[in-house]
Amino acid sequence: MKGWVIGIDVGSLTTDAVIMDEDKRVLSFSIVDTGYNSTDAAREAMTVAAGRAGLELEDVSRLVATGYGRAAVPEANKRVTEIACHAAGAVYLFPDTEMVIDIGGQDSKVIKVGKDGRVQDFVMNDKCAAGTGRFLEVMSAKLKIPLDGMGDISISARGEAAISSVCTVFAESEVVSLVARNCPKEEIVKGIHRSVVNRVWAMTRQLRVSGGVTMTGGVAKNRGVVALMEERVGRRINVPDEPQIVGALGAALFALREK
């Protein structure tokens, strides 16, 4: 097969690759841990994805890299920011998208997109762990609940604990005292989710978007966060089956565009 491309997203936690053919069909994807060496992680992700699609890596026609580690992919024909890639990927999956909420491991961003998938504006939180996946990670460790179990637990909560602090360190001590007071776990988790959502919500308000909203990034897998976010924005939110690979998907789309 000819003319296939790879998009690769080197993030702080995972490195994701998406292989796409000329007709914009996804042939395969992979998600690997970034670990210590981003260049190795990128190779591994590409090899795994190529293997799954039954392709030889040498035959790739174009490669676009994105993510914080995009500079660590020497083979890349082009590097594009994750902001542009998440926008392109989200519009590809959900054409009604006007706003992308990407909550990743170390930052969160809200992107306003035009009909053509181009970025019109964006807001980013990258100075502080509040409102990012890192916040949830810290809390999951504290509560001894696996990260991917947090969403389901919070859905079953009847009440909700109030976590008032936006600072991760302060919120952690709030959680400790809630635990000490025997507050039900699910209520604490729901309060934690609310805290993340409120923080991100403040960013979405700056962009004033009325159309379709798509959530990307690992945290979009958390049903609890999505439900609270939907409550906040007042409409249903599009969630991809694989929210983590949207950046890599966007990168693949850029690779096709430039061919």
Partner 1 sequence: MSIAPEIRYRFMKDIGAPLVMGMAGLKGKRKAAIKRDIPLGPPLKCSKRLKEIMTRHYFLSRYAEGARPVAWVTSGAPVELLRAFDFYTVYPENHGALCGAQKLGPELCSIAEGHGYNQDLCSYARIDIGVCLSGKTPVGRLPRPDILFASNNICQTVMYWYRVLAHHWKIPLMVFDTPFNFVSLDRSAITYMVRQFEEMIPELERISGRKFSEKKFKEVLRLGKSSAMAWGEVLATMKTVPSPMTIFDAFVHLAPIVSLRGLPVTLEYYNVLLSELKDRVSKGIGAIVNERKRLMWDNIAIWYKIRDFSRLFAERGMNFVTATYTNAWAETISYMDERNPMESLAKAYSLVILNNNLDHRLKLMERLIKEYQVDGLVIHSARSCKPYSVGQYDLKRLLMERLAVPSVVIEADITDFRAYSEEQTTTRLEAFFENIEDGG
Q: Are strands 62-66 and 78-79 parallel, antiparallel or unpaired?
A: parallel
Nearer to partner 1, 128 or 155 (CB): 128
252 lies in the site for partner 1, by CB under 8 A: no
Phi, psi dihedrals of residue 68, rounded to the nearest 5°: -60, -30
Cβ neighbours for 182, distance < 8 A, ≥ 6 positions apart: none
13 lies in the site for partner 1, by CB under 8 A: no
Helix (H) or strand (E) holding 87: helix 82-93
Q: How far apart are CA 77 and CA 80, in angstroms?
A: 10
210 lies in the site for partner 1, by CB under 8 A: no
CB of 81 to partner 1, least distance (A): 4
Nearer to partner 1, 191 or 247 (CB): 247
Nearer to partner 1, 47 or 81 (CB): 81
In this structure, what token pair is assigned to residue 80?
A: 């594009």
Describe the chain by its helix, strand, coil percentages, rounded to 5: 45, 20, 30
CB of 208 to partner 1, least distance (A): 7
81 lies in the site for partner 1, by CB under 8 A: yes
The strand order across the sheet containing 14-20 reads 26-33, 14-20, 5-10, 62-66, 78-79
Nearer to partner 1, 129 or 153 (CB): 129
CB of 194 to partner 1, least distance (A): 23
Strand partners, 216: 102
Nearer to partner 1, 22 or 258 (CB): 258
CB of 85 to partner 1, least distance (A): 10
CB of 250 to partner 1, least distance (A): 12
Closest CA relative to residue 78, chosen from 106, 30, 88: 88
Site string for partner 1, 107-136 (x = CB under 8 A): x----------xxxxxxx-xx---------
- Which residues are at the interface with partner 1 (CB under 8 A)? 68, 80-84, 107, 118-124, 126-127, 206-208
